[in-house]
Amino acid sequence: DAGVTQSPTHLIKTRGQQVTLRCSPKSGHDTVSWYQQALGQGPQFIFQYYEEEERQRGNFPDRFSGHQFPNYSSELNVNALLLGDSALYLCASRSQGHYGYTFGSGTRLTVV
């Protein structure tokens, strides 16, 4: 049973560019959340997707957007990248009505 799969594992982008990160949830899970973990800090909630809609959003600017597909997989898009966007981006999935959150290994984004 595969867990949460994220791609790519590492990414280097230039300031001002746009990036797309991908996440496949654990089998049986239908809800996907995204987190940003800056170096030396705990993860911060970006947003959550369920039934292909953004349901809840953390304190992140509109440059951060996402999408969920019918197969429950999800994308995180970040526009106009800033140096401060450099972080580990984590995807977490769960099944509605349950509290078992499963995290992926993350995508390490470096903005230069």
Partner 1 sequence: AQSVAQPEDQVNVAEGNPLTVKCTYSVSGNPYLFWYVQYPNRGLQFLLKYITGDNLVKGSYGFEAEFNKSQTSFHLKKPSALVSDSALYFCAVRDESSASKIIFGSGTRLSIRP
Q: Does residue 56 interact with partner 1 by CB under 8 A? A: yes
Q: Does residue 15 interact with partner 1 by CB under 8 A? A: no
Residue with tokens 């509290």: 99
Q: Does residue 44 interact with partner 1 by CB under 8 A? A: yes
Q: Does residue 78 interact with partner 1 by CB under 8 A? A: no
Q: Does residue 90 interact with partner 1 by CB under 8 A? A: yes
Dihedral-angle region of residue 55 (phi above 0 means left; psi in -120 to 50 means alpha; beta otherwise): alpha
Instruction: Return the structure tokens found at 101.
Output: 């959150």
CB of 16 closer than 8 Å to CB of 80? yes
Q: Rule CB under 8 A: which residues touch partner 1?
A: 4, 6, 31, 33, 40-45, 48, 50, 55-56, 58, 88, 90, 92, 94, 99-106, 108
